[in-house]
Structure 1
Amino acid sequence: MARRLRGTLAGPGQAAQQASFDLVLDLCPSPLISSHQHPHGYYAPGPDEAARRAAASELLDMIGDFEKPKYFSYKERLCAHSRNERVGCNACVEICSAKAISGNGDRIKVNPYLCAGCGACTTVCPTGALGYNFPSAAHTGSRIKAALRAYVDAGGQDPVLLLHSEGGAPLIEAVQSDPAHGVPGRVIPMALHHTASTGIDVWLAALSYGAAGVTVLMTGAEAPQYAGAIARQMEVAQTVLEGLGYAGPHFQFLQVATPEELGLALQHAPRGQAPAEMATFNLARDKRNTLDYALDHLYRHAPQAVEAVALPAGAPFGAIAVNTQSCSLCMACVGVCPSSAVMDTPDLPRLRFVEQNCVQCGLCANTCPENAITLVPRMVFGAARKETRTLNESQPFHCIRCSKPFGTLHMVENMLSRLSSHSAFAGNLDRLRMCGDCRVIDMMQPEGEFAVPLRRPT
């Protein structure tokens, strides 16, 4: 990773200019780069003289070469951002507080020079196309697993993970030094580069390892959209656990600014029901694989046997409902599905679906020309989650000229109703019952010339 800071700068009333710098000291009253998180090497102290002197002093000490960390990995093939100019998932673009992510056709583009490493994009990414590397989820998972195992082996009960970033450390230290209260013994602080970098996959894995709860601490210095994202993921995770019969709550989201507030909140840390047996799996590099491991373990030890749990709208898990009366089996949905949740059948007009793969991006519904697809947010468990099931099927329609199958009866009927008045087919509706090759031959054939007898559909 190159170390140079790149960006577009413009003062009031000035045209934007593209430039590259190692370090920037912005002395404007308002920062020229308005993102919540500024790029590494960019200082905007504002009009305060003391802050300006401190920034200048720090800049003078920044001598030498350094490598900017690359906080993320990107698997383009998994990205559900867009297909055919129709936007599906835009979660990473919307949440990035550094304005480092933008749409780039069917994929996204991340500016590594602007990326500040919060990891929020990887948390909200439903497919795992964006992965966090500072550190990886597998490394974080091994830390969580070791901490919980050591706590339980020492005789501890109802452990709660307290996930915090650098800004939360002084608050925790202040609470720990309070002789009257202190951090409860069952609360295990765990430092992260940023608390927005973990989400439902890591949290459910922690509960599978025996945690009674997960507390995420933010201090208010974080971008406001992070709080909303964490709260939504906690809602989905808690809904899943309650559906399986685990007594809760299991999650606590804290936004506090003083040790007193934090100390009081930790006295009410969650004490949810955990599985009777600790899981042994390790977190995978692939986010969806980790979720599968955690969900399978939680389902096997669930107090309540259920097949599915309804989830809030917008959850990245679920099924699709297909109106078979409207669906023409054109397979447009298959072509845009980024996760192979929707599939065709090579030799038959049949639409198949694997719920485990569905990320509810909506590309299939947005693309369907018949508006026949509806998203159904839910979590299904057991074998039903992984099985391939048929959503719609039909007998193939055969060309009335060469007998080659080229569509379905429903599709041909739709074409007849929509194109019967088209100049290319008026008076020649049989052409709509032909495959593409035979249709061209029939259109090019001079009138009166011997024609192949047509086979009428039965």
Structure 2
Amino acid sequence: MNIRFDEGQGSDPLQDQRDALARAAALDAAQALSDPEVLDSVSYRSQGNTLVAGFAADALPLADRLAQALPVTVLLLDGDVANVTRAYPVHTARAIALTGWLGAFEARWQASGQDAQEARFDLVLDLCPARLLASHQRPHGYFAPGASDTGRNAAVADMLEMVGEFEKPKYFAYKERLCAHSRNTRSGCNACIDICSAKAIQGAGEKIQVNPYLCAGCGACTTVCPSGALGYAYPPATHTGRRLKAALRAYLDAGGSDPVILFHDTGDGAALALQAQDAPQAIPGRVIPLPLYHTASTGIDVWLAALAYGARGITVLMTGTEAPQYAQALGQQMTIAQTVLAGLGYAGPHFQLLRASSPEELVVALRHAPRGQVPQQTATFNLAQDKRNTLDYALDHLHRHAPGQPQHVALPAGAPFGFVAIDKDKCSLCMACVGACPAGALQDGQGLPQLRFIEKNCVQCSLCVTTCPEHALALEPRMSFADTRNQAVVLNETRPFHCIRCDKPFGTLQMIENMLSRLSGHAAFADNLDRIRMCGDCRVVDMLQDQQEAKVTQLRRT
């Protein structure tokens, strides 16, 4: 948690009252916007076919209740099923494997001394000591309530209602051409795979594959995706931007000061924020709570845009129910964003990753909500659906009005922005890195022996580094504000090498020198090194003109 105490903060009760009134205007403005339309959805179909797994004492009573309305199968981890008399199938299972989602679960089990069995189910009630599905985010239709009677009763009640057809938004959009996962068997970015708490994302060759049935819509994958290949489709970033912009404009127009955006989820976070507003020592009036479907769904692009709109700080509330990797990812994003702002000369801090489980904790922490320095002039741009475009708008505004005007700001290792440094003595301009770059940051010379680089496009995926056969490249994380960041600059160039027979350019001087060094001992070239100095066409002609190599032997019948 980033906490800074400002002397006098909250010491002006009249201003806090004005801020509270301005906050009410901000919330009204945000709520006045209609919900976005669902453009694409995912459908489930359940006939209620239910699997109950666990020890007999736990599983059978609940199975009896479910069996009054649903078809049930029970897998027992203990006991002799010969002594169990039920109207539904009961099996002994020493090992159980489970995959799937609502309407499409596949279970495989084996009892001692028996062949493996398998079956499909629509719903699963997991009462095993160790959950059958270990993912933090559980798929729809899968219930693992633990030992609590309250939780088990609630699970049974929910399962009885899960028969029929169901629909949810398709939360993500995927642009394969931007994906930096892999190239030519080289591994690049795995950020989305590593952070997904639903285990919905996996590698599929050079791309990734997202299972829309498992996706829970947390948006964490879109937050950590460096290239924008994964985008948050519902609710879209443009809708979040409109709410953010409307709330801050209304707050400032109503006379509020030093606004802080409190992002929280629509579940536990929303309940906690509401309780804190009604507490005796309520949260400061300058704190504007804005709900998100999930707090992991926004990152550096939205946060910096909020500061450009006039927010003095961003607080993200986590209640402890989130996957642990989410907090780590958001913390890393905040470190990058704060480093950029500090490099521009803005006094901070501007960000607060807040963990609270009670209204009292939340109130105390928000008294120290960030009050960082931001531009006096608020921005007018709108958030784009493409995160990199939004980031460009926000950075341009923040840099234009910054106390400092640096050309570059160094970033922590692993940041998805930066430069590619090159060792010109090693580089042969083979262009292998150009073929590996998924973002178009590295480009050839359009017919000239040049390697060019557009820094704005670079996502620091390292595919160019791992592909380079000469080990001539290295990543340099930084944020560039130079005029050339959107332009193709020459990283390396050399004179073209011309064929010694026809004078046609076909390579670079250094490439030919490297080939001469490496192939001088090869049988095909040992006595004909000049062939390496020839283009492909002339090399073939030279080989055919050599009578020793092209000699035809007559065959005679014996």
* Bin of the TM-score, shorter chain as denominator length: over 0.9
Total equivalences in the alignment: 449
Q: In structure 1, what is the Cα distance between the partners aligned to 2:540 and 2:294?
A: 61
Seen in structure 2, the aligned counterparts of structure 1 residues 18 and 135 have a Cα distance that, compared at 3 Å, is farther
Question: How many angstroms does 1:16 deviate by?
Answer: 9.3
Q: Equivalent residue of 1:254, what SS?
A: strand
Please show how residues 19-168 of structure 1 align to structure 2 within 5 Å.
Answer: 21-165=121-265, 166-168=267-269
Aligned-residue CA RMSD (Å): 1.9
Residue type of the partner of 2:394? A
Question: How many angstroms does 1:423 deviate by?
Answer: 1.7
Q: Equivalent residue of 1:316, what SS?
A: coil
| 2:543 corresponds to 1:420 | no
| 2:376 corresponds to 1:276 | yes
| 2:421 corresponds to 1:344 | no
Picking from 156, 171, 174, the partner of 2:275 is: 174
Seen in structure 2, the aligned counterparts of structure 1 residues 437 and 19 have a Cα distance that, compared at 3 Å, is farther
Question: How many angstroms does 1:439 deviate by?
Answer: 2.5
- Counterpart of 1:323? 423
Q: Equivalent residue of 1:35, what SS?
A: coil
- Deviation per CA, 1:75-129: give whole Å up to 9, x if none: 0110000000101111001111111101100000011111111110000000000
Question: How many angstroms does 1:444 deviate by?
Answer: 4.0
Question: How many angstroms does 1:10 deviate by?
Answer: 4.6
Given that 2:241 and 2:383 are in contact with CA atoms closer than 8 Å, whether structure 1 keeps it comes out as yes
Of the structure 1 ranges 189-198 and 346-355, higher mean CA displacement relative to structure 2 is found in: 346-355
Q: In structure 1, what is the Cα distance between the partners aligned to 2:121 and 2:225?
A: 31
Q: In structure 1, what is the Cα distance between the partners aligned to 2:110 and 2:320?
A: 29
- Counterpart of 1:245? 345
Please show how residues 434-453 of structure 1 align to structure 2 within 5 Å.
Answer: 434-447=534-547
- Counterpart of 2:44? 3
- Counterpart of 1:310? 410
Seen in structure 2, the aligned counterparts of structure 1 residues 420 and 17 have a Cα distance that, compared at 3 Å, is farther
- Deviation per CA, 1:241-293: give whole Å up to 9, x if none: 01111111000001122222111110000000111111000000111100000
Question: How many angstroms does 1:298 deviate by?
Answer: 0.4
Question: How many angstroms does 1:28 deviate by?
Answer: 2.5
Q: Equivalent residue of 1:334, what SS?
A: helix
- Counterpart of 2:322? 222
Given that 2:135 and 2:199 are in contact with CA atoms closer than 8 Å, whether structure 1 keeps it comes out as yes
Structure 2, unaligned stretches of length 5 or more? 1-41, 46-100, 551-558
Residue type of the partner of 2:271? P
Residue type of the partner of 1:167? D
Given that 2:520 and 2:529 are in contact with CA atoms closer than 8 Å, whether structure 1 keeps it comes out as yes
| 2:304 corresponds to 1:204 | yes
Question: How many angstroms does 1:64 deviate by?
Answer: 3.0
- Counterpart of 1:192? 292
Q: In structure 2, what is the Cα distance between the partners aligned to 1:365 and 1:319?
A: 12
Seen in structure 2, the aligned counterparts of structure 1 residues 89 and 336 have a Cα distance that, compared at 3 Å, is same
Question: How many angstroms does 1:56 deviate by?
Answer: 1.2
- Deviation per CA, 1:401-442: give whole Å up to 9, x if none: 222211100001011111111122111111211222332333
Identity between Structure 1 and Structure 2 (%): 66
Seen in structure 2, the aligned counterparts of structure 1 residues 334 and 7 have a Cα distance that, compared at 3 Å, is farther
Question: How many angstroms does 1:323 deviate by?
Answer: 0.6
Q: In structure 2, what is the Cα distance between the partners aligned to 1:446 and 1:418?
A: 23
Residue type of the partner of 1:254? L
Seen in structure 2, the aligned counterparts of structure 1 residues 52 and 359 have a Cα distance that, compared at 3 Å, is same
Q: In structure 2, what is the Cα distance between the partners aligned to 1:147 and 1:47?
A: 44
Residue type of the partner of 2:177? R
Given that 2:344 and 2:399 are in contact with CA atoms closer than 8 Å, whether structure 1 keeps it comes out as yes
Report the TM-score when normalising by structure 2: 0.78
- Counterpart of 2:395? 295
Q: Equivalent residue of 1:66, what SS?
A: strand
Seen in structure 2, the aligned counterparts of structure 1 residues 126 and 20 have a Cα distance that, compared at 3 Å, is farther
- Counterpart of 1:455? none
Q: Equivalent residue of 1:385, what SS?
A: helix
Seen in structure 2, the aligned counterparts of structure 1 residues 8 and 378 have a Cα distance that, compared at 3 Å, is farther
Q: Equivalent residue of 1:343, what SS?
A: strand
- Deviation per CA, 1:21-41: give whole Å up to 9, x if none: 443322333221110000122
Q: In structure 2, what is the Cα distance between the partners aligned to 1:16 and 1:70?
A: 35
Structure 1, unaligned stretches of length 5 or more? 451-458
Q: In structure 2, what is the Cα distance between the partners aligned to 1:16 and 1:373?
A: 52
Q: In structure 1, what is the Cα distance between the partners aligned to 2:472 and 2:366?
A: 49
Q: In structure 2, what is the Cα distance between the partners aligned to 1:209 and 1:84?
A: 43
Q: In structure 2, what is the Cα distance between the partners aligned to 1:34 and 1:369?
A: 41
Larger radius of gyration: 2
Question: How many angstroms does 1:398 deviate by?
Answer: 1.2
Seen in structure 2, the aligned counterparts of structure 1 residues 296 and 442 have a Cα distance that, compared at 3 Å, is same
| 2:474 corresponds to 1:374 | yes
Of the structure 1 ranges 253-262 and 300-309, higher mean CA displacement relative to structure 2 is found in: 253-262
Given that 1:9 and 1:16 are in contact with CA atoms closer than 8 Å, whether structure 2 keeps it comes out as no
Seen in structure 2, the aligned counterparts of structure 1 residues 380 and 355 have a Cα distance that, compared at 3 Å, is same
Of the structure 1 ranges 54-63 and 15-24, higher mean CA displacement relative to structure 2 is found in: 15-24
- Deviation per CA, 1:357-410: give whole Å up to 9, x if none: 111111111111000001010011141321221100111111222222111000
Question: How many angstroms does 1:19 deviate by?
Answer: 6.7
Residue type of the partner of 1:83? R
Picking from 354, 374, 394, the partner of 2:494 is: 394
Given that 1:8 and 1:17 are in contact with CA atoms closer than 8 Å, whether structure 2 keeps it comes out as no
Given that 1:207 and 1:213 are in contact with CA atoms closer than 8 Å, whether structure 2 keeps it comes out as yes
Q: In structure 2, what is the Cα distance between the partners aligned to 1:221 and 1:93?
A: 20
Of the structure 1 ranges 70-79 and 399-408, higher mean CA displacement relative to structure 2 is found in: 399-408
Residue type of the partner of 1:391? L
Q: Equivalent residue of 1:227, what SS?
A: helix
Seen in structure 2, the aligned counterparts of structure 1 residues 396 and 13 have a Cα distance that, compared at 3 Å, is farther
Given that 2:408 and 2:482 are in contact with CA atoms closer than 8 Å, whether structure 1 keeps it comes out as no
Seen in structure 2, the aligned counterparts of structure 1 residues 12 and 152 have a Cα distance that, compared at 3 Å, is farther
Q: In structure 2, what is the Cα distance between the partners aligned to 1:379 and 1:12?
A: 56
Q: Equivalent residue of 1:152, what SS?
A: helix
Given that 2:295 and 2:318 are in contact with CA atoms closer than 8 Å, whether structure 1 keeps it comes out as yes
Of the structure 1 ranges 11-20 and 89-98, higher mean CA displacement relative to structure 2 is found in: 11-20
Report the TM-score when normalising by structure 1: 0.94
Picking from 459, 464, 474, the partner of 1:364 is: 464
